[in-house]
Structures are given as C-alpha cells and as structure tokens.
Chains A and B, each alone.
Chain A
C-alpha cells in the first residue's frame, strides 16, 4: 500500500529522511525519562475472525454527539473509493464506504483483526483459490435509503479496471482477476465484466490464477457498492454514496472534508464501526507546527482534535512530559530500504560493506526521526507483524550498529577501496541535507567515496525511478497491502519487473533461482504461503544482499484529552477512526 502523501515524499527523498528509532537499546544520552517504545513485532493484522458479531458496542465513557477534528499536513489526492490507495484515504473512506471485509482493533492483542463487513463472512474460496464467493448481509442501505445490491458491488469491481479514467488505485485485480489483462472497465468496454458473477445476494469473483489472499484484498474501498446509475465517473470522488456510519456533507478537495451521521446505516449490520460523534471535520494541508501546538495546548476544541501525522522530536519531548497518555505509538507496515543497483554494484562483498558502513542512527537522527519510535531498526525486509516473517540478521549488526572497520575489510577483500557510491538528496529540504552530510561522513570513514547527487523535493522521485539516473543506490521503501509477503516480493523483487517504466524493481534484482522460487511459492497451498515468503525474504538477503534495510516505519501520533478509541491501526499506520468517540 502506498504511504500517505507526505510519507511518500519522505520515502522519495530517500536516504535522507530516514528517521531512526532505537528501541530500548539506545545508548545515546543520559536521559532517564521513560519513553514509550514499540513492542517488538507487534502484529500487523495477521489475525482473522470470521465470526465477529454486529453491532459493535459503544464504550460506556462515550459522550453523546460531539465533533472530532482531524488536522493533517497531508492532502489526499482523491476520495473516490476505487482510487483510494494511500493509507490515509483508505482509513478515511473506511468511515464512509463499507467494503466486503474490514479490520477492527483488538484491545487484547493491540492488533488489527480481519473481520467481515458488508459480507456475512470472510468469503469462501473454491479448492484452488480461483473463485471467491461473498454473501452480502440483509439490511444494507445507501445514505439515500436505497438498498445495497450485489450488482452494485460487482459494478464497483468492474469499475476498478478503468485505470485510465480512474488512475492510482490498487491494481491486484489486473494481475489476478479473470480477464484482468484485457478488460478495460465499464466506461470503455460496454460488454459486462465476466470475472464477477451475481447470484441473488452473493457475488463470486473468478481469478485467472490462484489468489489465496483475496479476503485481505476485499477490505479495500474498491470493494464497496457503487450503483451504476449514480456513478459520475471522475466526479464520484467528490461525493461517494455512503454505506458506512458517516456521509459526506461538504468536501473541498485539498482543503477540508466534513462528515455527518448517515441515518440509513444500521449498527446491527456492522461488526466493526460505531457512530458516536455527530460530525467529523478534516483539515488537510495544515502546518505541522500549528497542528502539534493546537493539540498540545489541549484547550477548547483542541480537546477533541487529533492528527495522523507523526510527531516531531520537540513535540515528542513536550508530550512525554505533559501528557504521555495522549501519545499513541505502534508499528506501521513499511520498510525503508537502500536498494543497491545489482547491475552496477556486482560484488556481494561491496554490497555487504555498504550495509556495514551505513551510519544508521546518525542518518535517522539527522533526518529528524525519533529512533525506536518513528523509525525502528530492523534487518528483515518484511516488517514486524507480517504473517510468516523470519527474523534474521545477515550482517550481525542488528540493523543499527555501524561497523566501518568490517566494511573496510570487505572492501579490501573485494579490491574495491574507494568504491564510489552515488545517491540522491534534496537540496531544498534541510533534513535531507543534514542526513546527506551524515551519509557522506559515514561512508568516507568506511573507505567509500560518497558522491551525493543533488535533486529537489519535486524532482527526486523522477530521478529515483529513472533507470538512467547517475546513481547506484536508491533510497525508498515499501508498505504492505496486507500482512503477508504476497504483497511484497511479486511487486518489487520479480526479475520481469526490472526494466519496466518507473522502476518497480528498484534494485534491478534479476536472479533466475529467486524468480523460480517465487513461482513455486505462488503455487503452494495457501496455508504454507506466508511462511514460504518469510524464508524467501531471508534467502534473497543472505544470498544476494540486494538491499540495506534502513529500518521500519513507526507510528507516533497525538490526540486531545477528550478523545476515546484512539489506537494505532497497524495495518495502515493510522488512527482507528472507525471506533473513535469523544469522552464525557
């Protein structure tokens, strides 16, 4: 899944913005303050509960009504359910458009659990996972009072193939659904889509290849109901028909969104949402310092204000002293990596030397990350909480203990002392520049020649995804679409992707044995798949070391004092909007 907009820019700025988190093992400073750190390996939604019962109980301390304000520096590009693919737009749409399945927060495990939404269960696959059947509940209604029909969900699925008219959405349907490579969506193609069949209240999705993880994918807003007669194509995102507890009252793209109660939402059909507050007000593109200071002040409306932007170090310091209970921390399912260009850096010893020389903590701190909180050290490509994840440490430095001597040794072995590393940074971002300074310092100390290549925040993504860029490492990252390696390796580590537009395979990783292993995993029975991905993760890093893992993203968000139900949705790294309320 894509990170929310600003976070994408952060990834894009590459190595620069790495925020470091050093968990409890941080030896810097003599500060005795106890700070919240992330629990190791908090789950990221690997659990499932097909039997969750509706309605969801409203907590006892919830006040009647009230308004929750959400201030953020991010600006969702679109709120069309078919196109929502950023972590923030999918979380916001979770209040408005219901999908076939959904995630709900489990307070016992501090984890997200996959439960049914509009469907009565998590879907029924056929034997080889090539057909998935979902049955809709009774009593589902749109905000205008009309019934949600299975045909509407089938239409929404067909609509997701119109990637030319409605770009930027998730695209697994093109890869896995029947006719995914030929069907162009209902606007261009007037013949009905054959991949989805409707029988009364149930819909069946037919696959072109086994797709064992369809139940996770069915939680995307793509799988909501959209009545064909009311589809306004590009305009639909300005007021999607609500099936969830809230509906659009006013939406000014780029500025604000106001949601009010949807009178036609029936709590008895929904096991994962509550409708406690009267109103939600989202302010987009707000200044970070202003947002943080508003919530820190905690007066008036600020008591019911939250943000989903990670806090900055000075705010972390203040909130740790003033109101640590108003800070929520947790994992989010993203891994930052330095992708080493396998075609340019051909010697594995040089690649490993880069891993030893990378000044992890220095770069994170200089880039403004809070080590252990917004950036967690790690060594596996799959982030904590992914099903089947294997914990391993190829270099033996715990993903944070830089070892310049070892790097020099490897460079000498490879006869490559003074090897030139070229990486991007943005001159107009002071954090990026500061991180770049640390990278240069660290690599020069380990016997490399570091050549930072200047770019700007506007241009750095293009420069990074251009195969002809004069760089040999690419700083970026990846986030889970669902907590299994299936949403990781086929998307970035497939040799067939190496020369495609936009460099979907940033390490230019083309290895026959790895590709063969991937094929094999995809054909395994579904219960063995996650563990196989975990082993595959270890296999490519041990055998080829094509990427330096520069830590996992963490969530550190703050709220006003009169907000309840504010937890970390670790599937998206967002607050759990669907169960939030104002307290008495």
Chain B
C-alpha cells in the first residue's frame, strides 16, 4: 500500500506518448495526474454520480419528503393498518399510490419513503463525520509518530497496536446500555447522546489504520534530501510536517477516506440492526431489523433500505478502488 512520491510521479509508460501528443504540458502535480486519470474512468464517474445523488438526498431530505407529501414517523396504526397490521394503502396488498410511494410500514403505518430519506441522512451524516474526524486523528498521530524518533514513536505505536486489538463490536455492545441508562430520563439528550456515542465509537476505532500508514510513509520520507535540506535551513518541525511531508502523502490519505466511508456506512447500519446504534432517529439498519420478518409477505419494506445501503456502499467502494488506481500506477488494470 505504501507508495513513494517517486513511484507515483513516474511517467506512465503506456500513456505518455498520447498525452504528449494532445498537449504540451510543462509540469503537473501527482494530484492533477491522478484526477485526470480518474476523469477518464467511466466506472469512477458513474459511482461519483451515484454518491452525489445520495449526498443531495441526505442534504435535502426534508425538502424531498415535502415534495412527495410524506412525513417521517407520522403513522396512525389504528387507521393506517388493517387487522393483520398491514398497511391499508399501497403495497403489498394494494396498488402503487403516490400517497406512499414506498408503501407504509406494517404495525405503525409510518411512511417508508420518509423513513428512507431521513435514513440516508443519518447514514451519510454519521459516516462523513466519522471519516473526517478519524482521518484527522490518523494523520496527526501518524505524522507525530513517524517524525519523532525514539520513545515517543514507540509509545504511539504501542497505543495504535492496543487500539487495533480492541474488539469494536464488543465495546459498542457494552457502551450502548451504559449510555441509555445514563441519560434514561432525558429523552432529548438521549437522542443526541446516542448519535454522539455511535460516532465516537466509530471514530475511536477508525483512525489506527491510517495512522500506521502515515507513520510508515513519514519514516521513508524523513531521511530524503528535501526534508534534510529543510531541517538544515532551520524550518520549524511543524512546517516540515505540514508543508513538506503532508503534501507527499495525499494519495494514501484520499484512498483511506474513500474506503473509510463505505465501512462507516455499513457499520452504522450494522449497529442499528443490532439495536445498539441510535433509536431516536430513522436509520436504514433499524428498518432492516424491523423488516426482516416481512421478507416474503412485504418484500418492498425490506428491499428499500437494503438497496439503499447496497448502492451507496458499492458506489463508494468502486469509487475508492478507482481513486486508488488513479493514484498508484502500479495497480493499473
């Protein structure tokens, strides 16, 4: 995984003649080259379009819901469900209706589309925040560990190893009831506390891989001439870290972000499915949990969130792969 800037900047032998013909470009940064490669990758573009759509859905969930005339968690069980607790309009027993494009949930009569839209919001919101924060932590710790020689490096490496050894699922399982009971009598606080707790747990367990990666990069870069030169010139350590070293590590960082996002999306859904995530707000994982027993009597109820998770995760993963390929000529297909 670890690449050196030299390898990345190395001219791509198969493509170079074409590019020279097209335009005479004097100098391009590795980032520019990678983006150019990315733009010519059809899969990558389709995937970014899908991701973009999901992002728009997440941002404008309330507006879209209003557009369809649906409302989140507004079902009335006694008037919206029949004697079998199945919805009285829409699937599975009645035809399609614009009143509830994805149908109503059995038992509660809540609107599935509204739940799905807000679920996308929860999912992407938590995944984005977790990725951003864990990336920042990973970079900082990785830089410090790699650049400091001796005991500090050893201590940080030990901490990283310790965190890698902690079981994510067990910690989340243990933490959920503690949070619930701590904020038991404050319903509003509890809602936020659960979101914050879930995000914190994901961040807590999301930074180590990147930190290790960055540390390795720094180790190989810090003895290079441009770093030596900077030190001889008396550039402060802080500047060396952020001005000299960091720009050379954009590739692994971007790759790590693009692979971290889908991981956090699945993790959030998984935790909600297990009932240890968030319960106050809509979430795909929760809907899947409730819909499992309806897999053959009311498949749409289950498929909507499953397709949502599936599309988003596949798109993010393929996009991540494409970005990695674009940044690393050695893995070109």
Contacts and interface: CB of A to CB of B under 8 A. Distances in A.
Contact of A458 (B78, B177, B289): B177
Nearest to A22: B83
B297 interface: yes
Contacts of B290: 430
Interface of B: 73, 76-86, 88, 106-109, 176-177, 180-181, 183-185, 187, 190, 194, 275-276, 279, 286, 289-290, 292-294, 296-298
Given A314-B106, A314-B297, A26 B83 contact: yes
A430 B289 contact: yes
Given A428-B275, A437-B73, 5 more contacts: A28-B81, A313-B84, A314-B298, A428-B279, A454-B185
A28 B108 CA distance: 13
Contact of B275 (A316, A361, A429): A429
A362 B75 CA distance: 10
Contact of B76 (A320, A362, A372, A428): A362
A474 interface: no
B181 A456 contact: yes
Contacts of B276: 428
A366 B279 contact: no
A200 interface: no
A361 B106 contact: no
Interface in A12-28: 22, 26, 28
A370 B180 contact: no
A68 to B, nearest CB: 25
A51 to B, nearest CB: 42
B107 A30 contact: no
A365 B77 contact: yes
A453 B275 contact: no
A438 B181 CA distance: 22
Nearest to A31: B82
A439 B275 CA distance: 20
Nearest to A37: B83
Contacts of A463: 184
Contacts of A437: 73, 108
Contacts of B185: 422, 451, 453-454, 470
B35 to A, nearest CB: 44
B211 to A, nearest CB: 32
Given A365-B108, A430-B286, A29 B82 contact: yes
A314 B293 contact: yes
Contacts of B187: 451-452, 454
Interface of A: 22, 26, 28-31, 33, 35, 288-289, 312-314, 316-318, 320, 361-362, 364-368, 370-372, 422, 427-431, 433-434, 437-438, 451-456, 458-459, 463, 470
Contacts of B298: 314
Given A29-B81, A365-B108, A313 B86 contact: yes
B184 A454 contact: yes
B83 A454 contact: no
Contacts of B181: 454-456, 459
Given A312-B293, A459-B181, A365 B73 contact: no
A318 B297 contact: yes
Nearest to A456: B177
B76 A370 contact: no
Nearest to A430: B290
Contact of B83 (A31, A368, A431, A434): A31
A397 B81 CA distance: 21
Nearest to B301: A314
A452 B188 CA distance: 10
A28 B88 contact: yes
A28 B82 contact: yes
Contact of B184 (A31, A366, A453): A453
Interface centre among B109, B183, B293, B298 (most CB of A within 10 A): B293
Contacts of B190: 427, 454
B293 A370 contact: no
A318 B183 CA distance: 41
Given A317-B86, A370-B85, A454-B190, A427 B180 contact: yes
A365 B78 contact: yes
A317 B84 contact: yes
A532 to B, nearest CB: 37
29 contacts: A22-B83, A26-B83, A28-B79, A28-B80, A29-B83, A33-B83, A289-B293, A312-B293, A314-B84, A314-B106, A317-B297, A361-B78, A365-B77, A366-B77, A366-B107, A366-B108, A370-B84, A371-B83, A427-B190, A427-B275, A428-B180, A429-B275, A430-B286, A431-B107, A437-B73, A451-B187, A456-B181, A470-B184, A470-B185
